[in-house]
Amino acid sequence: MSRLVMKFGGTSVANIERIRNVALHVKREAEAGNQVAVVVSAMAGKTDELVAWCSEAAPLHNGPEYDAVVASGEQVTAGLLAIVLEEIGIPARSWQGWQIPILTTDAHGSARIESIDGGEIVRRMERYGEVAVVAGFQGMHKETGRLTTLGRGGSDTSAVAVAAAIHAERCDIYTDVDGVYTTDPRIVPRAKRMERIAFEEMLEMASLGAKVLQVRSVELAMVYKVPTYVRSSFDDPAAPGAGTLICSEEDIVEQPVVSGIAFSRDEAQITLRRVADKPGVAAGIFGPLAEANINVDMIIQVVSDDTTTTDLTFTVGTADYERARNILESRRGQIGYADMQGQTEVVKVSAIGIGMRSHAGVAARAFRALAEKGINIRAITTSEIKFSVLIDEAYTELAVRTLHSLYGLDRAA
């Protein structure tokens, strides 16, 4: 007998008909003798509706009350799925985050899970053969007793965390795609579904623009070594597809040099011209941005010919662009820059692969190929298993297709 967690996203539970389809997937696993916990999202569009209601009620709404409202979507789905499961003969019970309990920090709207006690869920699985249907996206701050939510995509994190807490053999993330692809099939029709991808690669892909999984869920899966499948809920429940397994690097026999190409349009570039080249200047620029919770990604510094000033270019998320500019403008006197320039029509394109560790010249090939296509690179960042380039947004599709072909991903099995 195996123990597993099944997670279903908003499109998978968008209406009662789809919830019935989800119930058939759960029934298949339960009747195979598995102990099953299910984590569900709110019905598609419901969280956005609840968020809009909060904003309409008060633009500067109270954080704990905001969480109390937006967490209700998952509670509705959990109750409905439990009802449908009972109707088809599968013992089930719905669980809200505070009932388990899933304990979190008190950062309302973006809380992080601190601990989960899965003991009662396991006890009821073993004694009653009961399927636990857990409302994802939510938890409770122990000290205040208030409900909290985990941020966009938080149900993925809930699912992996529950899997770790109940020592599940695996966690299956059901969504509207049948796995993780080498890149977005809407841009490259010949993109291939990967059978396996390493935790580290998936973490990079999720953080660099791939929308399949929330970054935090991949982090947890990697830390607790929870094998995680990405599968389609729209497959026939009686004969589901294989999906993509996210697993440890040692579980992958053949490691391609590059596994996938990701891109993010959520980028904005800021350049500070003729900044005094002296100790402490970088701290004076990036410290206030960090205090405002603005994440800075790519950073390039170019010292002038006279070595007394420098140009500093960096990227922030599009949503933080205006706020970052305002902060830097307010500190212009302390920082001492001559001019500030910005650009929002940029995109970050990245190549990811654990095979890069043992192959030289991987990035150089990309730079040459992009140059041949007339694509100018504004900024570059690298790590052990990925490199990213910042380019003009107009060249996004050309760059993705160029790199996808360059590394033979069109021919992936």
pLDDT along the chain (413 residues), means of 10: 94 96 97 97 95 91 92 97 98 96 94 95 96 97 95 93 96 93 92 93 87 89 95 91 92 85 94 88 92 90 76 92 95 91 95 88 94 94 92 96 94 57
Do residues 135 and 109 both lie within one domain?
A: yes
- Give the Cα separation of 180 and 193 in Å (integer): 6
Do residues 324 and 182 both lie within one domain?
A: no
B/e letters for 212-232, b = 16+ CB within 10 Å, e = fewer, are bbbbbbbbbbbeeebbbbbbb
pLDDT at residue 357 in the model: 85
Do residues 271 and 376 both lie within one domain?
A: yes
Closest CA to 64 of 144, 137, 134: 144
For the entire predicted model, the pTM comes to 0.86
Which two tokens mark 258?
Answer: 């590059």
Closest CA to 148 of 135, 160, 161: 135
Do residues 28 and 158 both lie within one domain?
A: yes
Do residues 62 and 192 both lie within one domain?
A: yes
pLDDT at residue 149 in the model: 95
Do residues 215 and 270 both lie within one domain?
A: no
Q: Using an 8 Å Cβ cutoff, are 378 and 299 in contact?
A: no
Domain boundary among 201, 216, 250: 250
Do residues 213 and 277 both lie within one domain?
A: no
Kindly state whether residue 202 falls inside one of the protein's structural domains. Answer: yes
Kindly state whether residue 388 falls inside one of the protein's structural domains. Answer: yes
Residue type, 90: I
Domain boundary among 250, 277, 297: 250
Do residues 135 and 170 both lie within one domain?
A: yes
pLDDT at residue 251 in the model: 85
pLDDT at residue 253 in the model: 76
pLDDT at residue 22 in the model: 97
pLDDT at residue 194 in the model: 93
Domain that holds residue 327: 261-411
Do residues 179 and 282 both lie within one domain?
A: no
Residue type, 327: I
pLDDT at residue 85 in the model: 98
Domain boundary among 250, 278, 312: 250
pLDDT digits (tens, 9 = 90+) for 250-265: 888 777 899 999 999 9
Number of domains in the chain: 2
Kindly state whether residue 355 falls inside one of the protein's structural domains. Answer: yes
pLDDT at residue 306 in the model: 67
- Give the Cα separation of 194 and 260 in Å (integer): 9
Kindly state whether residue 256 falls inside one of the protein's structural domains. Answer: no
CATH number of the domain to which 299 belongs? 3.30.2130.10
CATH number of the domain to which 12 belongs? 3.40.1160.10
- Give the Cα separation of 46 and 50 in Å (integer): 6
Sheet of strand 146-149, all strands in order from the earlier edge strand to the far edge: 113-116, 102-104, 138-141, 146-149
